Every structure is written in C-alpha cells, then in structure tokens.
Structure 1
Amino acid sequence: MRIALGQISSTTVPGANLLLVEQEVARAATAGAQVLVLPEATMCRFGAPLHTVAEPLDGPWVTRVLQLAADAALTVVAGMFTPADDGRVHNTVIAAGPDGLLGHYDKIHLYDAFGHRESDTVAPGTKPLTMDVDGVRVGVATCYDIRFPGLFTALAAHGALVTVVPASWGAGPGKLDQWTLLARARALDSTSFIAACGQAAPSEAGATGAVLGAPPMGIGGSLIVSPLGEVRAALGPAADFTAVDLDLREVRRARELVPVLAG
C-alpha cells in the first residue's frame, strides 16, 4: 500500500479548505498513492465556533470530498465536524473512497487536557472503525486517541494492519516529543503501521499555541511508523507532503516476532 500524508494548515472557512483538499488529492494521485491522510479539523481549524460549520455526512462538504476521491481513484481520510444530538458536534473523520463513503469515525477520547476542554463543544463517539481499502484492513483514530493504547490494540484485533491518525496536536513544551513517542508506542502495542497526519503549525502562532488551554492548532510532525516502531517518514512544522510504500508483510513478521496481541 502506498500512503500519503498531506500536512496542511486549515483555515476557518470550509470552502477554502476544500481547495487545500483538492491540492493534496492531486499531489497524492501524482505520487501514485492509494490512500491520502489529511489532518483532524481539515474542514475547519479549532478556535472557531464549530457548530456553525458542522454538516451531516450527506452535506456539501463531504459530497465534494467524495467527488475528489472518485475523480482521483484513491481514498481520502479527512477530519470534519458533524452535528450531535445534544447540540454539540462530533469530531468526525471520514474515509471517502473511489466508490463512495467507506465509513466515518466519531472521536472517542476527547481532548480534556492541558487546560483545554474539547468536551464542552464536542460529543464523544462510541464505536471504533475499521474499513477495507484495496483489500487491506485499515483502522482509524483521532489525535488525543493516540494516548489510549487499548483503542489501537482493539483495531488490530479487528484486523487492522494500518491505523491512520488525523490530528491537530496542541503546542507546548515537550508536546512534539510526546506525539512522536506516542505514535511509535501505538505501533509497537498493535504491531501495525501508524500513519499519523497532523495540522501544520500555523505561521502566525508564535508562542501563542503554548498557552495553557489554547485550542490545539497543530504543530506539524506528521509521521509514518513501522510495526516495530521505526520512523519511516517524518515532516517538520510547516505545511508539507510525503508518500511512502508500506510492505504489509512486515506486519505479519512483527506479529510473529513479538506476539503481544496473542496475550
């Protein structure tokens, strides 16, 4: 499987962010990728009123992403916001395949940490998601989920060989190291590939993003990790793109060498 990471910096305007999606889809298609992973909050960055941009899965934003995926004949994984029943929103990741929506995942573990309370405006999801992409089982997690190893081992138990992790990681001292360490740890826990794509660091952020309780605007640092915890690709803080070939036989070999999933 050839997988691409499109590390973008979303704006507060969903239509403008669709242009970023279109640009990254074109890059992924040119690179021969089967899957493009975009960040959490691709639809609209954090720090804006999310209830004003949230749309159902049959709304115009998803419809356009589905069209882009179909035209490019690849699967696009991207973060958005959908209405929740209680007046909040769901922090949703969609997987738009060439033939339609492969599935959606509502973030289970909300970012109530470092002085921020995502749960004030976002309702948690309850159901993990795995899906088949070109015959490969792929799991989905989102940002703060990466601190919870049980989700990743559950996805592996459901057959995931690769787990994609769209994110918009909060800035602050040591946070990049934590993000990288957690991605590597989750790969080792699940003996799976981890493809983690974060929002790029906003150019205007400066030191502001490190303020306790600030919205998680992104720090970059997207990476792809092997089932034995080796970093196969890593991006810096700025908007960037990479595509990597995953040899899925490595998952089987890792699970034979380190049978942690067997209990």
Structure 2
Amino acid sequence: MKLSICQIVSTEDVAANLAEIGRVAEIAAADGADLAVFPEFAMIGVTALTPEVLVQAQPLDGPFVTGLAQIAERVGIVIVAGVLEEIPGEARAYNSLVVLTPESGLVAVYHKAHLYDAFGFKESDSIRPGSLDGAITFDVAGVKVGVLTCYDLRFPEAARQHADVGVDVLVYPAAWVPGPRKEDHWQTLARARAIENTFYVAAVTQGPSLGTGGSLIVDPMGIVLGEIGERSGVTTAAILPGRISEVRQTNPSLANRRFTIAA
C-alpha cells in the first residue's frame, strides 16, 4: 500500500479548503497513493477556537464531508482529514477525523481523545473529548490503518492500543502549534511511537504559520522515509507489512514486554 502525507495550510474559507484538498489529492493519486492523509482541522484553519469558528462546525452529512466523499470517489483514493464536527444542542464541537473511501464514502470517524490543554491553550473549553471505546481502524489494500490526532502523539498508551489490535500504520493528522522546542518534540515523538511499537507512523501537520510543518513518514525501525519541510506539499511512501515482520525479528520488544495496557 502507498500512503501520501499532504501538508496544507487551511484558511478560514471552508469551500476554498475543500477545493485545495481536491487539488492535492489528485497529486497524491498521481504519485500512486492508495491513501492520502491531510492535517487536523483541514476543514477550517484554527488559531483559536472562538465562537466565530465554532459556529462553522458541520454535521457529518454536511457539505464539507460530503465534498470529501466526492473527492475520494473522483480521485480513486482513500482520504483522511480533520473536521470540526457539530454536536446538536451543544456549544462545543468534536475535533474529528473522517475516513472516506471511493466505494463507500464515510466509513470511520475518530473524535480526538486527548484535548490540548497545554502550552497556554485550553481546547477542552470548546471541544468535547471523544470516548475511549478502543482503536478506530480501517483497511486499505490489505494494510490495517489506525488514526489518532495531534496531542494524542504525546500519549504512548494510545499508540500501544493500536499495536495491540495489529495496526500496520498509525496516522496522526495534526495542527502542531509552533512554540518552544515544538518542532523537535514533533519529530522525536513520531519516531518514538514508530520505534516502540515497531509499526509505521505517518504524522502530517498544518504548514507554517498555522502549524510547524515538518510532516513525516517513519518506518518501524525509526527511519524517516519522507518529510515535508516548511512549504505545502505531498510525499509518498510504501507501507510494507513484510518490513514490520522483519523489524520485529530483530527488535521483538512487543513480544518481550511483561505488561499490557488495560482496556
């Protein structure tokens, strides 16, 4: 399976963001990708979760997710992207990831579990945390994919839960906010999650200045297979289950561990 990470810079114009996703998805498809992963809040550029931003949240059958489904069908690849999801009757919204396939449209939704109440932000004031019902996974071309979001990267238990259900690649759409040592944390944590779980990690963030940029794909040994710097762009890499098996022969850390993560 081939996976593309698609680093963009979302704006306040939801329709323009949808059009940009369509344009970039075509580039990923031309690269031979089966799966294109876009950042957190791909739907709308967020610097602060103000009432003016929250009022633009949409239901999953709204125009943005419907538009993503049309792009997936037109381009012929699976799309993962971050949306601001409306919660009926509540002022808060969900920070969601949606998964859309060419054949079936919307097939999976993940609501961000760990909210960014750190580095001076308080995401929980505006976002409802997702439930802890287990890993959200889907299959692409025989490869099992898991999804987490941004701040989830700092919690190794969340990644380990995906290793326990046999995920081959864990994707982290993000809007990794610039700040002290943040770019270093981003790459270090992405590589650590890959190394400790001996699976692939694809971490894609908003580009500068909305995010840090530096989106990357890491293999199970911690090797960076592809990286995007400060500009918007696409990079594509093959996800090879055989590589996972090979690494686990050399580094059987999952088999050697002496405790598990409680459900």
Task: Tell me the TM-score normalised to structure 2 length.
Answer: 0.91
Is 1:109–2:114 an aligned residue pair? yes
Q: Any idea what the Cα deviations from partners look like across 1:169-201, whole Å, max 9, x if unmatched?
A: 011121101100000000012111001111000
Shift of 1:246: 2.3
Alpha-carbon distance between aligned partners in 2 of 1:178 and 1:158, rounded to the nearest angstrom: 26
Alpha-carbon distance between aligned partners in 1 of 2:34 and 2:223, rounded to the nearest angstrom: 22
Q: What is the SS of the residue equivalent to 1:228? A: coil
Shift of 1:95: 0.8
Shift of 1:260: 2.4
Is 1:174–2:181 an aligned residue pair? yes
- Residues matched between the structures, number: 249
Residue in 1 that maps onto 2:260: none
CA contact (8 A) 1:13 1:44 kept: yes
Residue in 2 that maps onto 1:87: 91
Q: Which runs of 5+ in 2 are unaligned?
A: 258-263
Shift of 1:259: 2.2
Task: Tell me the TM-score normalised to structure 1 length.
Answer: 0.91
Alpha-carbon distance between aligned partners in 2 of 1:145 and 1:231, rounded to the nearest angstrom: 20
Q: How much is the aligned-residue C-alpha RMSD, in angstroms? A: 1.3
Q: Structure 1: which amino acid aligns with 2:124?
A: S
Shift of 1:72: 1.2
Residue in 1 that maps onto 2:227: 234
Q: What is the SS of the residue equivalent to 2:39? A: coil
Shift of 1:29: 1.1
Is 1:118–2:111 an aligned residue pair? no
Residue in 2 that maps onto 1:97: 101
Shift of 1:131: 1.0
Residue 52 of structure 1: which of 52, 55, 65 is its match? Answer: 55
Alpha-carbon distance between aligned partners in 1 of 2:87 and 2:220, rounded to the nearest angstrom: 35
Q: What is the SS of the residue equivalent to 1:95? A: strand
Shift of 1:51: 1.9
Shift of 1:261: 2.2
Residue in 2 that maps onto 1:189: 196
CA contact (8 A) 1:34 1:74 kept: yes
Q: Any idea what the Cα deviations from partners look like across 1:89-113, whole Å, max 9, x if unmatched?
A: 1100011111122201000011110
Alpha-carbon distance between aligned partners in 1 of 2:30 and 2:67, rounded to the nearest angstrom: 20
CA contact (8 A) 2:6 2:36 kept: yes
